[in-house]
Chains A and B, each alone.
Chain A
Amino acid sequence: MFGTHYRIERKSVVLAVAIMIVASIGGLIEIAPLFTIDETVESDPHMRVYTPLEQAGRNIYMREGCYACHSQMIRTLRDEVERYGPYSLAVESKYDHPMLWGSKRTGPDLARVGGKYSDQWHAAHLTNPRDVVPESIMPRYSFLRAAPLHTAHLADDLRALRRVGVPYTDAMIQNASADAIAQASPDDDTSGLVERYGEATQIRAFDGDQTAVTEMDALVAYLQILGKLSDAAQAPAPVQTAAR
């Protein structure tokens, strides 16, 4: 063994190739099957896709680095299920490019925060968290209220997402900008939006201001849909507890 190595270490290309081979094995064995084994991701025929406004909100969530302090992955532990709701299933982040499971909870998990608080609460909390929760250490995001949402190129976003596997239809892509505006303008004609994205689509002035579609609208729309794209996790299943 050491004799072989004594020879290998005299040839740089052999050494390089050996490193590549040895280092590739683990990743291949652990990652490749995740794409081929069907049970990896549960199936949910009723799974919704993000509306353009929600996707725009998701992009703001990423832009501001919210994932650095908030996870979106409830583990299969009793206390987590009791605190945050049913544990997260793989199917729930099926359309998340990339996933935002997170790695740190400086703030609480957000996987099921949708519908937990009112739009007003979210808007006030994002404007200044300490107005609502005095002990909070979250930064203020008041500038979102003043920032108009750029909707002009949302079709490009949906098109790119379709290319990586999210089932957006041609109609969804064509109407992306209009749908984003419509979702935050309940007084407008929203029938097209509902037709494309379903009855459950939440159509409200999320930031409380009807006159303009802001980044605050988008972010709150996204937060309010978290955990609601699929009902798969609501089905009763035994909770696995960690050994203490």
Chain B
Amino acid sequence: MRAAPPPLPPVSPPGFAPEQPVVGQNIYLNYVVYAKARPNRADGEWNVVAGLTVSERQRAMGVLILLAILGMMMAAAGAGRGDPMQAHGFVVLLFALGVMAVVLKGYFAPEPPVERLASYYDDPIKAGIIIAMVWAVFGMGVGDWVAWLLAFPDMTFDAAWASFGRLRPVHTTGVIFGFGGSALIATSFHVVQRTSRARLPDQFSPWFVLIGYNLFCVLAVSGYFLGITQSKEYAEPEWYADIWLVIVWVTYLLLYLRTLARRKEPHIYVANWYYLAFILVVAILHIVNNLAVPTSLASVKSYSLFSGVQDAMTQWWYGHNAVAFFLTAGFLGMLYYYLPKRAERPIYSYRMSIIGFWGITFFYMWVGSHHLHYTALPQWVQTLGVTFSLMLLIPSWIAAGNALMTLNGAWHRVRDDATLRFMMMAAVFYGLSTFEGSFMAIRPVNALSHYTDWTVAHVHAGVLGWDALITFGAFYALVPWLWKRERMYSPALVEVHFWLAMAGLLIYVFAMWNSGIIQGLMWRTYNEGGTLRYAFLDTMVAMHPYYIARAIGGLFFLIGALVACYNIWMTIRHPAATAAPAGDAPLPLPSPQPAE
């Protein structure tokens, strides 16, 4: 179904005429690509497994068999103890068998031709985009459901798995790690290849990273339904899932460094600095915050190494830097590639990129303690937290400003092209959210805002306004490039999505700002006699209309994501109209046919 009349923006957004080499063009290092166009694969011939070499298929089967055995062992051990480890063993087993079934379908295909090495390896990127969109719908769907639960609490079917407490981490993990993480992995594979003008070093590791990471997400989310959680916010998965993620993440880091090592560009482009910081620092945070002692190898339960105040500080050092390096650095990597690319403008300032990057990398790690103002955390740590939170505004706004000023000379495109407008609004919301974050870190402001919906408003301005918008923008740019289409199936639907997202976002954030500030003020309102004016319950009842408004805002945003799914799906199904953009291929290696 094509959306009807409102005057359509130009069907072919600027810069998308096939004769123009869109990729490989100057970003800030003034380079030009001369390479033969990749062999254009016929439509529908997207057989992922047949593209793997025989030894890569063997490696995949080996890992999957090991994983299946591990799943069986977990199930057996858990069964002996009556522990939920049993259920998770079956999850691992089924996951391994499912992937195995896919691998077996192409297992006996002939060895792929060597010509594959003359083009970028895009299959895992395509899969990552599709997986990310599935997580988006799932995670946002659960999010909206729990939003309605706060207004109508009896919709839990009297079942344990359906209560707010268990569903809330399903939402946060689904959107942050499922959607955000898969999108980051997919785009990082794209960006690192293009900006290095080198193909990924092998075809097994990227799949191991993408699928292994998703196994982690599946274990996490299924665990919450089953009541498996270590209760640390945004680090809920238990010890065995955490160990698995470390294995996946180390592979990811090595893959990234190996690709950079193959680069034909002397300089590493700024987007890669951010992706690299995202990978490295998330590894540090994840390992330190999840240090724990399991009760038994056959049990899902573990006890955190730290307790009380040290645990609180470690948790919020992790928690805030998950925001910094997962939800900010990674997505800044996206912004620094797709925004200049789509706008066809070089990055405004090289020096601002450097200052922004190192400022963010250094300052962020100090600010976690602003989550613990007026608590039992020693005051000196709180003070450091505020100080650095305020200083953090400088590199944050440098990064946001650098992105927005890159658009100088391309504002007519922002007007006409909803994809670029997604990216522009993402940079705007990034700037607004970082300002709000620094503001909320100031102690007296935090006294009012902490524990209320104001925090929820702030987080959603960040993740919906910044992370989700830049991701949608990047995907709308990427899908036609990767699937060799001239453009998205329907630019009108991109426009529809943009306005649905904007409306949903603003309704959501304004509702939560109101409820948060009202509740914070009610908690501290005194009667003339010097007694507290409102019982806690009074302040909760006052939230009801805002909770309904928030759920409606969330619904708008979710519908927008569904529109995106439809549009992406139709773009993929639509036959290819154009050949691959000229120049979208890695530079050949010095040797005539590189050894794999």
| Interface residues in chain A, defined as those with a beta carbon under 8 Å from any beta carbon in chain B | 2, 5-6, 9-10, 12-13, 15-16, 19-20, 22-27, 29-31, 34-35, 37, 39-41, 59, 62-69, 71, 73, 75-80, 82-83, 87-109, 129-130, 133, 135-143, 150, 152-153, 156-157, 159-161, 163-166, 240, 242-244
- The complex places the Cα of A90 from the Cα of B358 at a distance, in Å, of 34
CB pair B295 A99 closer than 8 Å: no
Nearest opposing residue in chain B for A152, CB measure: B82
- Binary interface encoding of chain B residues 148-179 relative to chain A, with 1 for a CB under 8 A from any of its CBs, else 0: 01110110101110011110110000000000
- Smallest CB separation, B103 vs chain A (Å): 31
Q: Measured between alpha carbons, how far is A129 from B44 in the docked complex, in Å?
A: 55
Q: Closest CB of chain A to B255's CB: distance in Å?
A: 12
In the assembly, what is the distance between CA of A90 and CA of B375, in Å? 8
**Contact residues in B for A130 (Cβ distance below 8 Å):** 153-154
Q: Does B25 contact A (CB under 8 A)?
A: no
Option from B354, B378, B536 in Cβ contact (under 8 Å) with A34: B378
> Which residues from A are CB-within-8-Å of B281?
19-20, 23
- Asked if B412 is at the interface (CB within 8 A of a chain A CB), the reply is no
Q: A137 touching B153 by the CB < 8 A rule?
A: yes
Q: Which of A19, A29, A64, A96 interacts with B276 by CB under 8 Å?
A: A19
**Nearest B residue (CB) for A240:** B374
Shortest distance between the CB of A24 and any CB in chain B (Å): 7
Of the stretches B336-344, B363-371, B470-478, B490-498, the one at the interface is B363-371
Q: A10-B266, A19-B276 are in contact. List 10 more A-B contacts (CB 8 A).
A: A23-B280, A26-B362, A34-B313, A63-B229, A95-B308, A129-B153, A137-B151, A160-B302, A166-B307, A242-B374
Known: A31-B317, A62-B229, A137-B540. A19 touches B163 (CB 8 A): no
A-B residue pair count with CB separations less than 8 angstroms: 282
Instruction: Give min CB distance, B55 to chain A, whole Å.
Output: 26
Q: Do residues A98 and B523 form an inter-chain contact, with CB atoms below 8 A?
A: no
CA distance A173 to B450 in the complex (A): 39
Q: Inside 8 A of B310's CB, which chain A residues have their CB?
A: 31, 34-35, 40
User: What's the minimum C-beta distance from B557 to chain A, rounded to whole angstroms?
Assistant: 21
Give every chain B residue within 8 A of A93 (Cβ-Cβ). Answer: 307-309, 311-312, 376
Contact between chains at A143 and B361 (CB < 8 Å): no
Please report whether the interface of chain B is mostly helix, strand, loop or mixed according to DSSP. Answer: helix
- Assess whether A31 is in contact with B313, with CB atoms less than 8 Å apart: yes
CB-CB under 8 A for A5 and B354, given A15-B268, A138-B153: yes
Q: Which stretch of B89-97, B118-126, B230-238 is in the interface?
A: B230-238
Indicate if the CB atoms of A41 and B373 lie closer than 8 Å. no
CB distance from B196 to the nearest CB of A (A): 10
Q: Which 6 A-B pairs have the closest CB atoms?
A: A65-B165, A26-B365, A75-B374, A26-B366, A93-B308, A98-B304
Interface centre among B260, B365, B531 (most CB of A within 10 A): B365
Q: Which of A20, A109, A161 contacts B303 (CB 8 A)?
A: A161
B187 within 8 Å of A (CB atoms): no
Closest to A105 in B: B451
Q: Which of A2, A20, A39 contacts B284 (CB 8 A)?
A: A20
Partner of B451, one of A92, A97, A103, A164: A103
Task: Name the residue in B160, B309, B325, B451 with the highest tally of chain A Cβ atoms < 10 Å from its Cβ.
Answer: B309
Does the CB pair A25–B362 fall under 8 Å?
Answer: yes
Q: Quick one: which of B378, B444, B447, B536 contacts A39, CB cutoff 8 A? A: B378
Complex CA gap A117/B228 in Å reads 29
Contact in complex: A19, B168 (CB < 8 Å): no
Judging by beta carbons under 8 Å apart, are B81 and A153 in contact?
yes
| Contact A68 B165, beta carbon cutoff 8 Å | yes
Q: Which of A9, A37, A97 sits near B311, CB closer than 8 Å?
A: A97
Closest to B358 in A: A22
Residue of B nearest to A39 (CB): B378
Please measure, in the bound complex, the distance between the C-alpha atom of A156 and the C-alpha atom of B233, giving whole angstroms.
Answer: 25
Chain B residues contacting A40 (CB-CB under 8 Å) are 309-310, 378
Contact B295 A157 (CB under 8 A): yes
Knowing A68-B164, A79-B523, A97-B311, say if A153 contacts B376 (CB, 8 Å).
no
Residue B388, interface by CB 8 Å:
yes
B313→A30 contact, CB < 8 A = yes
When distances are taken between beta carbons in the complex, the residues of chain B under 8 Å from A34 are: 309-310, 313, 378, 381
A135 and B540 form a contact (CB under 8 A): yes
B405 at the interface (CB under 8 A from A): no
